[in-house]
A and B are shown apart, each in its own frame.
Chain A
Amino acid sequence: MTHNLGLLASWQRVLKRELLLAYRQRNDILTPLIFFIIVISLFPLGVGPEPEILRTIAPGVIWVAALLATLLSLARLFNNELHDGTLEQLLLTPQPASVLVFAKIVSHWLTTGLPLVLISPLLALSLDMSSTALIYTMLTLLLGTPILSLIGAIGAALTLGLRGGGVLLALLILPLYIPVLIFSTGAIIAASNGFSAEGHLSLIGAYLIITLIFAPWVTSYALRVSLD
């Protein structure tokens, strides 16, 4: 006889499935990462190779590129699931949909946010960042990219299956990303100027906690609305 799964087992199963799917569609995973690298390497070509200028704009360049790369990856978060009907099944499971949606968001971060964090030191070096700035770039990306996935999931759910959804998503989500951008670049600049970045990091942390609490719930609600 069969038994229904518990909440945690269900969560793990969704995460496992998402990671397996990500592995099967690994080209899609690589695209945002390559995009991230290309956008950053365009800047020296645009503003000139002077290390002084590059060092100044590096935090902003890396962070804006991270926002855009995340945005690019969000379309894939729910769209395939919409077309094969598995999104409906996700909402029909006996577990709270928000918990399962959270598993999807975690998988999204592991496959897009985390690679950006890991590749960032190389890009930071190419923009002539100091070692302190490099460490804080990684740190802010580590704290900040989960927020991008969490807020992005809401936008992806709201624009699900709409014509021109990608551009619309950018319009909805980018303004909401502004605090993350400001706090993160602020932290890097403060740290590389020899000041404490603790305040900035706490603010990012607080923002992360708030989005962790609300975003999965809002996303699952938005999915219900979009599938109605």
Chain B
Amino acid sequence: MLQANALAAERGGQRLFSDVSFSLKDGDLLHLSGSNGSGKTTLLRMLCGLTLPVNGDISWQQKNIESNRDAFNADLLYIGHRHGMHSDLNALENLQLSTQQLSNSTMVFSALEEVGLSHHLNKPLRLLSQGQQRRVALARLLLESRKLWILDEPLAALDVDAVEWFSQRLAKHLENGGMAIVTTHQEASFISHVSINVVLGS
């Protein structure tokens, strides 16, 4: 269970949001929305433990995430708007060397195939399109089994097919008792699974 308690954030000395609280149980999907500059990315980074809250605390399985960082990180999969892939490595190398799991190349191949990327595998990532790079990043969802997904605009630059694939993958994750926190500006079928809505800046 992920519990957020009276969270507050500042940027450059200015208050972004305050008193954000919620708790996320197995199978819950939290949809985070708000206008530009309302602090969505800051809140997501805070929930990952990257940004320290000015106020409040976050706990994972009843333990503060700051003092149990390694255990929390073992359950967490975060994909930010910078997708966390090396642009000078190709898709295969990225997934084999950047992920935290022992995965052989067959698994990586099939994951890439599932996200619709079966060619251009030997090109460094910077030569691929934004959408293709995003697909490589999302292939981590298949390769790493983590309980909590925190995804910042996962649908950005994705085409209709990929959005549909993502929605199904997310639904499966929730069915298996996983949890997810997602921001998006786009219409997608996974919205029907949302169990908690958090709106910032209202």
- Please say whether the chains A and B touch (CB closer than 8 A): yes
**Contact call B70/A96, Cβ cutoff below 8 A:** yes
**Contact call A88/B74, Cβ cutoff below 8 A:** no
Contact among B84, B100, B124, B145 for A10, CB-based, below 8 A: B100
Q: Is B4 interfacial (CB 8 A cutoff)? A: no
Contact among B51, B74, B87 for A228, CB-based, below 8 A: B51
Which residues from 129 to 157 on chain A have a C-beta closer than 8 Å to any C-beta of chain B?
A: none
Smallest CB gap from A224: residue in B: B50
Given A92-B73, A94-B70, verify A86-B86 contact (CB < 8 Å): yes
Which residues from 100 to 158 on chain B have a C-beta closer than 8 Å to any C-beta of chain A?
A: 100-103, 107, 124, 143-145
Given A2-B145, A25-B88, verify A20-B97 contact (CB < 8 Å): yes
Residues on B with C-beta less than 8 A from A45 are: none
Expressed in whole angstroms, the minimum distance between the Cβ of B158 and any Cβ of chain A is 17
Interface-facing stretch out of B18-26, B75-83, B160-168, B171-179 = B75-83
Q: Is B89 interfacial (CB 8 A cutoff)? A: yes
Smallest CB gap from B76: residue in A: A92
Give Cα A89 to B48, complex, Å.
Answer: 10
Residues on B with C-beta less than 8 A from A24 are: 88-89, 124
Expressed in whole angstroms, the minimum distance between the Cβ of B147 and any Cβ of chain A is 12
Q: Is A163 interfacial (CB 8 A cutoff)? A: no
Given A20-B97, A84-B83, A88-B50, verify A2-B103 contact (CB < 8 Å): yes
Contact size range, B? 20 to 34
What is the interface of chain B mostly: helix, strand, loop, or mixed? loop
Residues on B with C-beta less than 8 A from A81 are: 86
How many residues of A are in contact with the other chain, CB < 8 A?
Answer: 31
Contact with A along B49-92 (1 / 0, CB 8 A): 11110000000000000000011011010101111111111000
Contact among B50, B71, B89 for A91, CB-based, below 8 A: B50
Contact among A16, A21, A25, A228 for B50, CB-based, below 8 A: A228
**Contact call B89/A5, Cβ cutoff below 8 A:** no
**Contact call A95/B145, Cβ cutoff below 8 A:** no
Give Cα A88 to B83, complex, Å.
Answer: 10
Residues on A with C-beta less than 8 A from B88 are: 21, 24-25, 80
Smallest CB gap from A25: residue in B: B88
Residues on B with C-beta less than 8 A from A16 are: 97
Residues on B with C-beta less than 8 A from A3 are: 101-102
Expressed in whole angstroms, the minimum distance between the Cβ of A96 and any Cβ of chain B is 7
**Contact call A4/B100, Cβ cutoff below 8 A:** yes
Give Cα A92 to B70, complex, Å.
Answer: 8
Q: Is B98 interfacial (CB 8 A cutoff)? A: yes
Contact with B along A1-42 (1 / 0, CB 8 A): 111110001100100110011001100000000000000000
Residues on A with C-beta less than 8 A from B101 are: 2-5
Residues on B with C-beta less than 8 A from A83 are: 82
| Interface residue ranges, A against B (CB under 8 Å) | 1-5, 9-10, 13, 16-17, 20-21, 24-25, 80-81, 83-86, 88-89, 91-96, 224, 227-228
Given contacts A84-B87, A86-B98, 6 further A-B contacts (CB under 8 A): A2-B103, A5-B101, A20-B97, A80-B86, A88-B80, A92-B49
A-B residue pairs, 7 tightest by C-beta: A85-B82, A94-B74, A2-B101, A17-B97, A85-B84, A89-B84, A24-B88
9 of the cross-chain contacts (CB-CB < 8 Å) are A3-B101, A4-B100, A17-B97, A25-B88, A84-B82, A84-B83, A86-B98, A89-B78, A96-B70
